[in-house]
Amino acid sequence: MPDGVIAQRSAMTLGLQVPDGGEGDLRSFVRTLSDGWRWLLAGFAGGLALAVGALWLVTPAYTATMVIGPTARVGSAAMGARVPALSGRESAAVAEPGAGDESLSDYARYLELFGTGPVAARLAREPALLRALFPERWDGEAGRWRPPPGLLPAVKRMLLALVGREDWVEPDGERVARALRDRLVIDMLRSGPMRRITLRHADRATALDLIGWIASATDAHLRMEAARRSAAQIAHIKARLAAITVAEHRQALSDLLLDQERVAMMIGVDLPFAADMVQPPSAAALPDWPNPAVVVPLAGMVGLVAAGFVLSARHALRESAASDGLSAEDRR
């Protein structure tokens, strides 16, 4: 190829404008932010102001915390084994027989029922607990439950009335379970069996009482269920003993009866049945939710980011309008 053609191509290549790419976009973005620093400052200040206003409107709450673990079977602080050791033969009194993946401990039941299901129904029969959970619905002067005051509850009642329904007035077990589901948090500690349970309430004493009531009601429900099962098995074995005359069969049933009577005796011991309270309920002396040291700076950063986004969108719209204007002039 002739040298002149190569030189001509090189000159054409050098004369083309090389696009800046992402680096140019970054410089343009930084320039846009620096030119609109007043907008960024206003966004940051607006976020701080909104956070401070929200903190004044939101009722601060106390966080009651307790740590629980499985009931100890051995040791000086333990209640002992509720299920007796096998007495020389395979006993049907062994708790929860079956494959390993089918067994369910009392502690697992405790965590599953904590504040829900039959435990919530049990708690719904406690007037003091209901008034603590739903203070806005309790009329202390009249001594009865009422619909909650305010605009939003009134709108809700109106919408329900339009479809032929009514809002609830007196709380029941289902409402208690929903309220506790929103307030209770159960966290695992160091991937072990212990759990940290937290509950928030506007009153510190009420928060401590609530979490203690729930723990006591859950343990009492499981103890009552275990006692019912044990009593049913004892009655069944006694009925079979009265009808059987074979000595070997009577001896086997007598062993089962002895085991079940031991279980019933241990169930009645006045100690925690399903879960030991490793750390009793406690709460800080001052409200700890929401935390202003976290909420206020975070709201300021959100306002700053929002202002930066608005500036970037505004700059992009201006560039798009300018490009459309230049294109129209070129077509002319």
Residue 262 has pLDDT above 60, yes or no: yes
CA distance linking residue 189 with residue 198, whole number of Å: 13
3-state percent breakdown (helix, strand, coil) of the chain, nearest 5? 60, 10, 30
At residue 84, the 3 state secondary structure works out as: coil
Positive/negative CA dihedral, 24, 25, 30, 35: positive
Question: In whole numbers, what is the pLDDT of the chain averaged over residues?
Answer: 80
In this structure, what is the dihedral angle of CA atoms 188, 193, 194, 196, given to the nearest 10 degrees?
A: 30
Task: Report the pLDDT averaged over residues 184-197.
Answer: 90
Q: Between 88 and 53, whose confidence is greater?
A: 53
How is residue 289 annotated by DSSP? Answer: B
Query: pLDDT higher for 131 or 28?
Result: 131
**Tokens coding 110:** 């405790």
Q: Which residues contact 267 (CB under 8 A, 6 or more apart)?
A: 82, 223, 226, 227, 230, 273
> Six-digit token pair at 324?
């459309």
Phi, psi torsion values for 61, nearest 5 degrees = -130, 155
Range of lowest pLDDT (175-179, 190-194, 229-233): 190-194
pLDDT over 60 at 2, yes or no: no
Give the model's pLDDT for residue 16.
Answer: 39
pLDDT of residue 326: 60
Asked if the model's pLDDT at residue 207 lies above 90, the reply is: yes
Work out the average pLDDT over 177-192. 90
Report phi then psi at 144, rounded to 5.
-150, 170
- Backbone angles phi and psi of 327, in degrees to 5: -65, -40
Give the per-residue pLDDT at 329.
61
Rg, Å, the chain Cα set: 35
Contact in structure between 263 and 82 (CB atoms under 8 Å):
yes
What digits encode the pLDDT tens for the residues 212-259?
Answer: 999 999 999 999 998 999 899 999 999 998 888 888 888 998 998 998
**Higher-confidence residue: 57 or 94?**
57
Cα distance between residue 51 and residue 34, in whole Å: 25
Q: What secondary structure letter does DSSP report for 244?
A: -
Looking at residue 73, what is its pLDDT? 60
What CA–CA distance (Å, rounded) separates 289 from 59? 9
Q: pLDDT tens for residues 64-118? A: 999 999 886 655 455 555 555 444 444 444 444 444 445 678 888 999 999 898 9
258-269 average pLDDT score: 87
The residue whose two tokens read 């607990």 is 129
Task: Provide the edge-to-edge strand list for the sheet that holds 62-70.
Answer: 184-188, 195-201, 62-70, 275-282
SS3 169: coil
pLDDT bucket at 31, cuts 50 / 70 / 90: confident
Q: Which residues pair with 68 in a beta bridge?
A: 195, 277
Q: Taking Cα atoms as reference points, which of 137, 141, 139, 138 lies closest to residue 153?
A: 137
| pLDDT grade for 315, boundaries at 50, 70 and 90 | confident
Reading the block at residue 321, the tokens are 């309008």
* Whole-number pLDDT of residue 314: 79
User: Would you state the pLDDT for residue 320?
Assistant: 75
